[in-house]
Amino acid sequence: MAETIWINAKLYTGQRVIAGGRMIVTEEGTIRAVGDELLPVPAHARVRDCEGTTMLPGFIDVHVHGGNGFSMMDGTFESLDGMSRYHAGHGTTAFLATTTTASEERIVQALRNAAAHIGKTSGAELAGIHLEGPYLDEKRRGAQDREHLKLPTAAEIEEWCAAADGHIRLVTIAPEIEGGMAAVSQLAGKRITVSAGHSNATYEQIEAAMRAGVSHTTHHFNGMSPLHHREPGLAGAGLLLGGLTTELICDGIHVHPAAVKLMFEMKNPEKICLITDAVGPAGLPDGEYGEVVVASGQITLKHGSSLAGSSLTMLQALKNALRFTGYPLEKLLPSLTSVPARQARLDRQRGTLAPGKQADFLLLTPGLELLSTYVKGKEVYRAGSSA
């Protein structure tokens, strides 16, 4: 089978940076070898010259509801595929389609639809599901629908998992609500990553939740008990407890740039997971879209001032993090690649450019403008193309 060798890249593998980097990709779309100019060109291989452009592992977004007018909760393949193409155009190569709090019927339909189309999208690859709600604390619900918040039961959790056909990889829950700790244990027992979010938990309750199986926090600082000097809350726990990986919406709106820098100073990038939390209207012009309003990149509920998701992309999140922290690219890169892969248990296939992994990668200018996005070695986005 013909292979492709990519040459002359500034190649960020995820562990090191290789000037004049080379990568061999099989016909099946997996990486066979990564190295420098000493890596030989295989006989009969197609040679692709990167001409000094930057090659990065593709970004993995574990918390994304939609984009460009498409939403996971639409419950259709068209919407999943539309959001996959939109986010591929901004550096995402794999994502977890994320639910919102809604009726049981809508959630089940969204789960079944996503499960039926795992790996079938034409842009970024739909790699699993993130169940956000309905087991949330009303005090910290944010834009989540109050009417459909509920307490967890073991039977209903089994129903969600069956509807998703085993593809739920991340669940957001408020562990302090009635039945919350038992739900955490049940989900963790299924090897699902459990995230504390939309939660009013105390610091001590989060410590207990970690013992039950919580290892992640949802859009840190947002929708949670804040840091106070007499009650550190979930916000303080996420900063201090090494067993928690913290999601971060790095748009400068949900979290102040100084708080972004604080988080990176307190936690290693290996414990921070950059996300978009993008919703259906992300990428659309300013205006009203159903119950939300888009204005200057900010998305809020039409009735009230609550933020209702974001219009962020993963590439912009990276650029913002570089600016807010002053860190070099190679230090921040895990927060968009290997960390989300680990948290979603996708790290055997994705997250770094290494032999045996999928050839999910990006080509960018030195100024980090996206040129192309590749999934399994296949180009799914090219700058300037209308396809």
Residue 387 in domain:
no
Coil, strand or helix at 125: strand
Does the structure show a pLDDT above 90 at 2? Answer: no
Domain identity same for 266 and 332: yes
Does the structure show a pLDDT above 50 at 387? Answer: no
Q: What is the mean pLDDT of the chain?
A: 96
Give the confidence band of 295 by pLDDT, cuts at 50, 70, 90: very high
Domain identity same for 232 and 311: yes
Q: What is the pLDDT of residues 66-83, one digit of tens each?
A: 999 999 999 999 999 999
Contacts of 244 (CB under 8 A, 6+ apart): 196, 206, 210, 214, 215, 216, 217, 237, 238, 271
Domain identity same for 27 and 94: no
Domain identity same for 146 and 49: no
Order of all β-strands in the sheet with 298-301: 287-289, 292-295, 298-301
* φ and ψ of 246, to 5 deg: -110, 125
pLDDT for residue 323: 98
Q: Is the dihedral of CA 140, 144, 146, 148 positive or negative?
A: negative
Domain identity same for 120 and 148: yes
C-beta of residue 359 within 8 angstroms of C-beta of residue 31? yes
pLDDT for residue 385: 80
What is the DSSP code (8-state) at residue 28?
T
CA distance 370 to 386: 15
The token pair at 285 is 């012009």
CA distance 277 to 284: 15
CA distance 184 to 193: 9
Residue 324 in domain:
yes
Is 347 labeled as catalytic in the residue annotation?
no
Q: Within 13 Å and on the Cβ side, how many CA atoms surround 45?
A: 19
| Distances from the Cα of 339 to the Cα of 88, 150, 319, angstroms | 19, 30, 17
Which among 358, 255, 269 has a CA at the least distance from the CA of 312?
255
Q: What is the pLDDT of residues 194-239, one digit of tens each?
A: 999 999 999 999 999 999 999 999 999 999 999 999 999 999 999 9
Query: Which of 142-151, 246-255, 328-337, 358-367 shows the lowest per-residue confidence on average (mean pLDDT)?
Result: 142-151
Residue 122 in domain:
yes
pLDDT for residue 304: 77
pLDDT (mean) for 235-247? 98
Report the predicted TM-score, pTM, of the whole model to 2 decimal places: 0.97
| 31-65: b (≥16 Cβ within 10 Å) or e | bbbbbeeebeeeeeeeeeebeebbbbbbbbbbbbb
Catalytic residue among 145, 277, 286, 347: 277
pLDDT (mean) for 27-39? 96
Domain identity same for 28 and 166: no
Contacts of 55 (CB under 8 A, 6+ apart): 6, 9, 10, 11, 12, 21, 23, 353, 361, 362, 363, 364
Q: Is the dihedral of CA 235, 309, 316, 320 positive or negative?
A: negative
Which among 214, 134, 223, 140 has a CA at the least distance from the CA of 182?
214
Residue 23 in domain:
yes
pLDDT for residue 368: 98
- For residue 193, the enclosing domain spans 59-343
Domain identity same for 252 and 113: yes
Domain identity same for 229 and 114: yes
Does the structure show a pLDDT above 80 at 386? Answer: no
Residue 87 in domain:
yes
C-beta of residue 192 within 8 angstroms of C-beta of residue 216? no
Torsion angle in degrees (nearest 10) through CA of 143, 148, 152, 153? -160
Domain identity same for 272 and 289: yes
Domain identity same for 241 and 360: no
What is the number of domains present in the chain?
Answer: 2
**Considering the chain, what percentage of its residues have pLDDT values greater than 90?**
95
CA distance 369 to 359: 20
Give the confidence band of 268 by pLDDT, cuts at 50, 70, 90: very high
Torsion angle in degrees (nearest 10) through CA of 154, 157, 159, 161? -130
CATH number at residue 268: 3.20.20.140
* φ and ψ of 93, to 5 deg: -115, -15
CA distance 238 to 214: 11
Domain identity same for 368 and 275: no
Domain identity same for 64 and 30: no
* Single-letter amino acid code for the residue at 108: V
Q: What is the pLDDT of residues 302-338, one digit of tens each?
A: 887 789 999 999 999 999 999 999 999 999 999 999 9
Contacts of 175 (CB under 8 A, 6+ apart): 181, 183, 184, 194, 196, 199, 201, 205, 206, 208, 209, 212, 214
CATH number at residue 369: 2.30.40.10
Which among 89, 58, 67 has a CA at the least distance from the CA of 387?
89
Does the structure show a pLDDT above 90 at 177? Answer: yes
Residue 117 in domain:
yes
pLDDT for residue 1: 57
Q: What is the distance of C-alpha 235 from the center of its chain?
A: 20
pLDDT for residue 305: 77
pLDDT for residue 303: 84
pLDDT for residue 327: 98
Contacts of 241 (CB under 8 A, 6+ apart): 206, 207, 210
Q: What is the pLDDT of residues 110-145, one digit of tens each?
A: 999 999 999 999 999 999 999 999 999 999 998 888
